[in-house]
């Protein structure tokens, strides 16, 4: 498979004959402050062995120009050796030294070496991001995870800058207006895990020390950094505090000393993902530096990501999957450890499993019901497949299944297996069988059938109670009905809930059992009084959708908010949302539940999820004839709860944001404008910069924000964040001109960074403006293949997903999507997958609307 893609077969063939001894990479980024300079100098020398002397191979490289290629002292002609994506070499010796000198491009899309100019002070910042295969945009290499090697980086940068990489720097030499940073060799790591961060970053430093069992001490220098203009908002003490708690926890659980020397954490601009586990030099999206007030859910999310990336130092960096089929071997574990660690490390975020049940699993359930769903251990044919598999299956479903595995084998057996896994495979690559081997050793269980059911099949089961009672109201039989294409073994808890003296719904009984097959009887329930609520999967031990018997559902309609336990309540909210998405509960009934009980919800993360889901229910799942009323009800409810919330509380801020999202009538928009102008006030509510942009977006979407007003707000907040918000507000205006401008900005130019592509598509796709966006449905389908061919995959994914006319829920768009899929069977599989998933979202919305009409 030629070109920018790389197939699994090609990678296996290359790995079968090569072993890499090391890379020396020299980068000269002194040109970075000059925005007219599009490239930087990159020189790679790779030392490797070949088991078949005389064979040929290739290195991966995406660069505007290659200056020279030298193999074992023999100069090769770049014009014939380099085809734009690969450097081809032949006549390999048993031992080889290959040097490639190239001019590589600075990135504006977050792929490779990203360059950002801060609008606040004009300073330039660089950072790299590679996963799964963008190291080749910065230096020539064998871009596959199983050809690990030590890397030695040398970076020449402007003299006023600091530079970081995976290893500590050994020397820094000044030469006029530049400094050259020489870094120590890394331990053997994969190409996608290497990193460089450079610029005038603000830095906070700390230190971690731990006494080891052998009497020695582990010393880990710590740092956290962000752009200088964000320094006033940078709560480094909180970030480094979580870091040290995490290091304590993972050392205790994994019994393998942190292997990468130092631990830097860089919060960087215009980042495409949440964070990346580069060993010794982790990168995070700088939105985790909170410049305005956020709820505690945002701090919990950031702490979770810090621990997620830290878990990768062992799961992923120390031990790495052989190919992207087993991506889950790192991502599922890290996702699980993010939540597990928040509690195990004794952070202040004691509700981590509530957040996991309510938010991470919602992502998994959605992904797992697409026609494109895949097993946790996926069939990844090439790099484009790999890019799309960083999804809810690999992360959230995998983590959910690991939680079930811990319940199945026991936590001690699970972690002892992890300890053996690290020691046995340190600095190597693994597959599924390697993990099962150690877990079978420690648990004594045969996990092959468990893995076959959970890791090698797709789809989500639904568990439904079947309850019969006698004349006295006692249970004669309680059974678990399991639906799904594959029936799996589940270890679950059944919670029985009744009213206490105060009227709260509390657990009065708990039965834990193994569920197998289509019907399992809960024998211990026989003879018990019929409870008000039967809650399957109490304590959230397994991965499934839960349903309710009719009596339980009626009691929830009357008292969902009365469930005292927050995890049980979160599970119930998740269940009724799944009923709504599946077209089994009318959208207006779900909205009624939110309006009635969300004001009682104590968990701020759950509350924010309810807001997002209620908005989706009205915009997409409700009968179009009821949308206007549903929107008004949400706005009225948001205003009522905002006025009743505790002044200055997280809940008050969440309801203020929800009002901004739902405001449509004169009363709501009048208050929005009054809050911006200062003529209206709600006790305790601080209208800070980020909230101001939320309020301006409400006015812009209603056609009540002028160009001059939005420009004035941008002038007051001339930052990267301000630019994103301003762009979204302009695109959100309900005019044909605004939609045309947003469309053109993204489609007609490849100059926009991904952050502004996303801002334009978000503003363009306001659901209430579906009539304006409908004009672009036909052009959208016509340009898909061109976008996929011409844009980087990161930008193409944002365009394909962001401009899909999901709000056109009259059936016409569904027909257009079906026609495109039928007419383009040879389109790139990754592109077809994206369109098919968005098409499935649309079909689900139409089914939900039919339920709501009935």
> Catalytic positions, please?
309
Closest CA to 227 of 118, 376, 333: 118
Q: Which of 578, 481, 480 is nearest to 522 (CA)?
A: 480
Residue 594 to residue 613: CA distance in whole angstroms? 9
* Helix segments in 316-469, DSSP class H: 328-344, 352-355, 361-368, 383-388, 398-409, 411-425, 432-443, 448-454
Which of 684, 807, 791 has the alpha carbon at shortest distance from 747? 791
What is the SS3 assignment for 428?
coil
Residue found under tokens 């070499």: 89
| 3-state SS string for 198-229 | EECCEEEEEEEEEECCCCCEEEEEEEEEECHH
CA distance 278 to 193: 5
Tokens matching residue 741: 């401008």
Q: What are the two backbone dihedrals, phi and then psi, of residue 158, each rounded to the nearest 5 degrees?
A: -50, 145
Q: DSSP string spanning 462-474?
A: EEEEEEEE-TTSB
Using CA atoms, how far apart are residues 769 and 650, in angstroms rounded to an integer? 30
Nearest to 642 by CA among 631, 657, 656: 656
Residue with tokens 């994206």: 834
Token code pair at residue 452: 């076959």
**Residue appearing with tokens 């595995």:** 405
Pair 167, 45: CB distance under 8 Å: no
Element housing 459 (H / E)? none
Beta bridge partners of 478: 467
Q: What is the DSSP letter of 7?
A: B
DSSP string, 35-55: TT--EEEEEEEEEEEESSTT-
Of residues 210, 213, 208, the one with CA closest to residue 240: 208
CA dihedral angle for residue 793, residue 794, residue 796, residue 801, rounded to 10 degrees: 130
DSSP 148-163: -B-EEEEEEEETT-EE
Contact at 8 Å (CB) between 537 and 493? yes
Cβ–Cβ under 8 Å, residues 547 and 581: no
> DSSP label at 313?
T
* Cβ(731)–Cβ(701) below 8 Å: no
Distance, in Å, from the CA atom of 105 to the CA atom of 198, rounded to the nearest integer, reads 16
The answer to whether the beta carbons of residues 795 and 108 sit under 8 Å apart is: no
* Helix spans in 59-198 (H): 78-81
Q: Give the chain's length.
A: 854
Which residues are bridge partners to 493 per DSSP? 512
Q: What angle do CA 801, 763, 614 make, to 5 degrees?
A: 80
Cα–Cα distance measured from residue 700 to residue 477, given in angstroms and rounded to the nearest whole number = 57
Question: The dihedral of CA 447, 448, 454, 455: what is its sign?
Answer: positive
Q: Tokens 């998994």 label which residue?
A: 364
């Amino acid at each position: 498979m030629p070109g920018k893609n790389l197939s699994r077969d090609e990678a296996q063939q290359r790995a079968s004959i090569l072993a890499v001894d090391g890379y020396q990479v020299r980068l000269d980024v002194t040109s970075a402050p000059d925005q007219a300079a599009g490239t930087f100098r990159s020189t790679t020398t790779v030392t490797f062995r070949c088991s078949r002397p005389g064979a040929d191979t290739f290195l991966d490289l995406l660069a505007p120009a290659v200056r020279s290629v030298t193999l074992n002292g023999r100069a090769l002609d770049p014009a014939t050796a380099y085809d734009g994506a690969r450097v081809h070499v032949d006549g390999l010796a048993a031992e080889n030294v290959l040097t490639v000198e190239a001019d590589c491009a600075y990135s504006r899309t977050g792929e490779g070496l990203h360059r950002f100019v801060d609008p606040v002070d004009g300073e330039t910042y660089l950072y790299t991001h590679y996963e799964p295969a963008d190291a080749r945009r910065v230096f020539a290499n064998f871009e596959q995870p199983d050809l690990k090697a030590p890397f030695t980086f040398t970076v020449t940068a402007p003299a006023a800058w600091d530079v970081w990489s995976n290893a500590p720097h050994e020397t820094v030499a000044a030469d006029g207006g530049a400094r050259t940073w020489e870094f120590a060799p890394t331990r053997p790591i994969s190409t996608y895990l290497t990193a460089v961060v450079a610029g005038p970053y603000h830095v906070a430093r700390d230190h971690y020390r731990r006494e080891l069992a052998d009497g020695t001490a582990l010393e880990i220098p710590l740092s956290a950094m962000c752009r200088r203009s964000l320094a006033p908002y940078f709560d480094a003490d909180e970030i480094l505090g979580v870091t040290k708690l995490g290091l304590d926890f993972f050392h205790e659980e994994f019994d393998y000393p942190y292997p990468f020397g130092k631990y830097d954490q860089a919060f960087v601009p215009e980042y495409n993902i949440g964070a990346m586990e580069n060993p010794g030099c982790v990168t995070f999206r700088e939105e985790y530096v909170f410049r305005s007030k956020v709820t505690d859910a945002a701090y919990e999310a950031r702490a979770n990501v810090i621990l997620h990336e830290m878990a990768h130092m062992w799961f992923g960096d120390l031990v790495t999957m052989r190919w992207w089929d087993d991506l889950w071997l790192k991502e599922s574990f890290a996702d699980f450890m993010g939540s597990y660690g928040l509690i195990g490390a004794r952070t202040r975020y004691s509700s981590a499993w509530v957040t996991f049940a309510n938010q991470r699993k919602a992502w998994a359930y959605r992904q797992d019901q697409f026609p494109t769903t895949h097993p946790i251990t996926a069939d990844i044919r090439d790099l484009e497949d790999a890019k799309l598999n960083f999804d809810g299956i690999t992360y959230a479903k995998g983590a959910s299944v690991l939680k079930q595995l811990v319940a199945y084998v026991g936590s001690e057996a699970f972690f002892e297996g992890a300890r053996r896994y690290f020691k046995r495979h340190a600095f190597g690559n693994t597959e599924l069988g390697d993990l099962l081997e150690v877990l079978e050793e420690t648990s004594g269980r045969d996990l092959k059938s468990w893995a076959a059911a959970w890791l090698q099949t797709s789809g989500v089961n639904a568990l439904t109670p079947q309850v019969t009672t006698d004349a006295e109201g006692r249970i004669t039989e309680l059974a678990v009905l399991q639906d799904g294409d594959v029936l799996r073994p589940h270890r679950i808890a059944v919670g029985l809930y009744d009213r206490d003296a105060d009227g709260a719904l509390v657990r009065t009984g708990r039965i834990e059992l193994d569920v197998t097959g289509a019907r399992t009887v809960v024998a211990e329930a026989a003879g018990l009084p019929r409870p008000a609520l039967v809650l399957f999967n109490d304590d959230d031990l397994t991965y499934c959708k839960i349903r309710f018997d009719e009596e339980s559902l009626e009691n929830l309609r009357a008292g969902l908010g009365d469930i005292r336990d927050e995890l049980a309540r979160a599970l119930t909210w998740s269940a009724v949302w799944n009923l709504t998405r599946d077209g089994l509960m009318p959208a207006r009934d779900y909205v009624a539940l939110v309006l009635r009980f969300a004001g009682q919800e104590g968990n701020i993360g759950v509350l924010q999820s309810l807001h997002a889901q209620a908005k989706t229910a009205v915009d997409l799942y409700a009968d179009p004839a009821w949308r206007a009323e549903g929107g008004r009800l949400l706005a009225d409810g948001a205003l009522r709860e905002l006025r009743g919330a505790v002044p200055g509380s997280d809940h008050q801020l969440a309801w203020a944001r929800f009002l901004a999202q739902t405001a449509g009538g004169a009363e709501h928009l009048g208050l929005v404008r009054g809050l911006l102008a200062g003529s209206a006030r709600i006790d305790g509510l601080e209208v800070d910069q980020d909230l101001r942009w939320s309020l301006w977006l409400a006015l812009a979407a209603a056609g009540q924000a002028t160009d001059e007003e939005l420009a004035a707000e941008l002038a007051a907040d001339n930052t990267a964040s301000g630019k994103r918000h301003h762009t979204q507000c302009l695109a959100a205006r309900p005019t044909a001109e605004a939609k045309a401008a947003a469309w053109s900005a993204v489609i007609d130019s490849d100059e926009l960074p991904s952050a502004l592509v996303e801002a334009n598509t978000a503003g363009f796709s306001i659901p209430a403006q579906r009539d304006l966006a409908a004009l672009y449905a036909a052009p959208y389908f016509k340009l898909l293949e061109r976008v996929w061919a011409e844009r980087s995959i990161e930008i193409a994914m944002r365009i394909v997903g962001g401009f899909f006319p999901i709000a056109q829920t009259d059936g016409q768009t569904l027909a257009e999507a079906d026609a495109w899929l039928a007419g383009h069977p040879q389109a790139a599989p990754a592109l077809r997958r994206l369109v098919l998933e968005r098409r499935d979202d649309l079909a689900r919305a139409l089914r939900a609307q039919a339920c709501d009409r009935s």
